[in-house]
Structure 1
Amino acid sequence: MTRRRLKYQILTALLLCFLQAAGIVVYGQNRPRAALRRSHELQADTTHKTLSPQQQVLKADTLDALAKATADSIANENKKKMLELTASPDIKQEKDPTDSLSRELKRKQWVPNPTKATWLALVIPGGGQIYNRKYWKLPIVYGGFAGCAYALTWNGKMYKDYQAAYVDAVNEKWDSSSITDLLPPGYIDRVSHSQITETLRKRKDTYRRWRDLSIFAFIGVYLISVVDAYVDAELSNFDIGPDLSMKVEPTLINNQTGGYYNPATLKDKSVGVQCSFRF
């Protein structure tokens, strides 16, 4: 018991000494001005006897100012260090490195104006596709216009020829070149005139109908090119991602109509195709 008590006393004494030393250090850090003043007072006492009263006053003021400046500088330095220790670290967020190719693609991404594309397509056939930079559609557009123009020209020419031949047949001009150029040699002598006149009339009406259809087809290609230019420009920013998809896969369809299903029988099953959309 005595040894344990002695140990406790020694530990208590060491703890008190440690606390007293820590208090002295803290007091010296917090009160640097007072410590400096005490040291200067001790030095002043030793030199007080050798200096005149005016010199003593001037030296005391100088020492006081020096002590004040030193204390202020130490206090500011301690305050700055305390702020650095307690302040939250300033972490600069690094920018994500981007690929030069992706930056180039974003900078060159073309976003057309739907209104401007529509007006260009109305004024110039194929102008909307050129404005949208869809040059691969130009052969389709101009090919459609060329085909309709050729059909219109051909059917119009044939209609005029059969129209002239029909008029000559009605007027009994069987020797005219308009009739002989369209009919095979000797066809007039083998077939009655009324049947030839009816044949010329039917062909005239057929080519006239085809000519009119060629005109409507030409207008249709023109309108389709305008609509395509508008839709292409409007949907240029449409997001097509993995969330927008259509999946087609084979499946087994249960054809039973009763209240139970027998897996042993294959007649209740049929193979089909399943189509699923995901938005």
Structure 2
Amino acid sequence: MKVLITGSNGLLGQHLIPVFARQGNYEVIATGRGANRYPHPDNYIYEAANLRTAASVQQLIDKHQPDIIVHSGAMSQVDECEKNKDACWDTNVGATRYLVQAAEKCNAFFMFLSTDFVFDGLSGPYAEDAPVNPICYYGTSKVAAERLVHNSKLQWAIIRTVLVYGISSDPHRSNMITWVRNNLQQGKKIKVVDDQWRTPTLCQDLAEGCRLIADKKATGYFNISGNEILTPYDMAIKTAEYFNLDTALVEKISAKSLAQPAPRPAKTGLIITKAETELGYRPHSFAEGLEIVAAEL
């Protein structure tokens, strides 16, 4: 069975490749912008593609005729989306439209990666059937893309997740864990938000959740995240304690003091009961996630 993974140079994409490739029953085609940045070249094919053009997408799908498409490629920097709305829309909505149209021609099972930022954060954590109401442009673009998938002729799954953390092979990509560790190791003070709540998600867990959905070709909306509600400050303190670093260097602040271009929902987090019951999804605790990240470092 052929599975096409978009956004394969990103954090999730680099974890999706091995999760599917090691199963033995999947032929993996990975695609991203530019050269392949995943350093392990075995057991999959890499194709560079510009998903923002219909012709490039159609050429990719025509060539490989995938049975399953896992669309994880996106513009996900929230402030950048707010400042550059055209690029955000082209990447998050336009590319999804082209992929859906091409997928309809080969009747592929379509899996779309979405976000907790489709919600306003007034009544989290959220179940799959909670009404969407984004408060930033990134969330707005993801809602529009979700609707394209939902209204398509395809069999589909929309996978929402939260605050994904883990280690990427791209040295330019940072994450919460390494940012906290590196600054505290250098004796630098850091300011971390304490009035936003999330259910942080280990990247390996998210990739495994996607595989479980693909194996069953389970349709509908699925929340795939961690199961602990934490603030970024909580995460920073737990990270400092794990690496035996000075927690006094971690200062709690309000999100309002950051004056970020894009507003963030205050309390999201996802309820994962459906994924646990229907898929057998079992995420790691944040403490276990720290151990896994530390081993990769």
* Band the TM-score falls in, shorter-chain normalisation: under 0.3
Answer 1 or 2: which has greater helix percent. Answer: 1
TM-score for both structures, normalised by structure 2: 0.17
Answer 1 or 2: which has greater strand percent. Answer: 2
TM-score for both structures, normalised by structure 1: 0.18
RCO greater where, 1 or 2, for CA within 8 Å and sep 6 or more? 2
